[in-house]
Every structure is written in structure tokens, then in C-alpha cells.
């Protein structure tokens, strides 16, 4: 995405996201898991992943906006799209006919000592959204990747 023209789809980029397994602790104000985000500025991201040996496990992708708040929080506002053709991101069609949006807020904690403070700050960010959207902690079991590796 071009910061000077963020809504221009011709300047959009792909982001590859690798999500690790979440910690099994319950009662925490956030799901804690390793995540690596890599922005693809040129080339074909799906073809690159294919060359690395990855295969499609799902026929859904997200399209939307990725914002940074306080240089700490990633706010991802996206819609879910379904692929009409396997592996063809260009064939993606909106999955929800009502056009619902998903809002995800995440923060980077570099070590375990920072996790409680990040959870507190996530609650503060959640309060900023309370008049617009409902942010909930997703149970880590729903975040599990069920990708069969061969």
C-alpha cells in the first residue's frame, strides 16, 4: 500500500502472515502467539509461496487495510473472500453477501515479561472501538492451523 494513496487498489501489496501456535493459557485478555508479517512489494505472492512448497489449505483469503497505531498495534480491517479457482487470488469473490468486515487488533511483545502490559494496552485500544465494533478475544482453539504438512 502506498502511504500517500492508501485506497488506490493499483498500488496495493500482498502480506504473507505466518501464525504460530497460540499459548494454551486461558483467562488472559488476549490470545498470545508468534506471528510474522512480510509485505510483498513486487512479484506474485501466491507463486512465491508455491515455490517455497506451500499449498492452499483454504479457499478463503482476506482483503483489506492494515494500519499501525502508536507504532505498537496492528489494526487489520478486512473482508473475507472465497476463491472461485483454487490458487487464483484474482478469482476471489466476497464470501459474505452483507459485506461484513473483520477487525483484528494485535500487538508485538518481544518477551514474556511484556505480555501482561500488552494485554492491558490491548484493552485500552479495545475501549476506543467500543462504539463502533465489538472486539472479543478469540479462543486459541479456533486459531489453530490445521494445515497437513507432507
d(CA 18, CA 127): 28
Residue 99: per-residue pLDDT? 87
Q: How confident is the model at residue 105 (pLDDT cuts 50, 70, 90)?
A: confident
Evaluate if residue 89 carries a pLDDT over 80: no
Task: Convert the pLDDT of each residue in 18-65 to its tens digit.
Answer: 777 777 666 666 777 778 878 888 888 778 888 888 877 777 888 888
Closest C-alpha to 94, from 83, 81, 85: 81
Residue 79: per-residue pLDDT? 92
Residues 66-82: what's their mean pLDDT?
88
Residue 34 burial by Cβ neighbours in a 10 Å radius (0-12, 13-18, 19+): exposed
109-128: string of b/e by CB count within 10 Å (b at 16+)? beeeeebeebbebbeebbee
* DSSP three-state, residue 74: strand
Evaluate if residue 94 carries a pLDDT over 80: yes
d(CA 112, CA 123): 18
| Mean pLDDT, rounded, of the chain | 78
Percent of the chain with pLDDT over 70: 77
Evaluate if residue 120 carries a pLDDT over 80: yes
Amino acid at each position: 500500500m502506498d502511504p500517500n494513496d492508501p485506497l488506490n487498489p493499483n498500488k496495493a501489496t500482498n502480506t504473507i502472515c505466518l501464525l504460530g501456535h497460540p499459548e494454551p493459557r486461558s483467562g488472559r485478555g488476549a490470545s498470545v502467539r508468534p506471528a510474522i508479517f512480510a509485505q510483498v512489494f513486487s512479484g506474485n505472492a501466491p507463486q512465491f509461496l508455491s515455490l517455497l512448497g506451500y499449498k492452499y489449505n483454504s479457499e478463503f483469503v482476506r482483503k483489506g487495510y492494515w494500519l499501525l497505531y502508536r507504532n505498537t498495534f496492528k489494526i487489520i480491517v478486512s473482508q473475507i473472500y472465497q476463491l472461485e479457482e483454487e490458487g487464483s487470488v484474482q478469482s476471489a469473490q466476497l464470501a459474505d453477501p452483507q459485506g461484513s468486515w473483520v477487525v483484528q487488533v494485535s500487538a508485538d511483545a518481544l518477551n514474556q515479561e511484556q505480555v501482561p502490559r500488552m494485554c492491558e494496552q490491548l484493552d485500552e485500544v479495545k475501549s476506543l472501538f467500543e462504539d463502533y465494533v465489538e472486539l472479543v478475544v478469540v479462543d486459541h482453539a479456533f486459531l489453530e492451523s490445521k494445515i497437513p504438512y507432507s
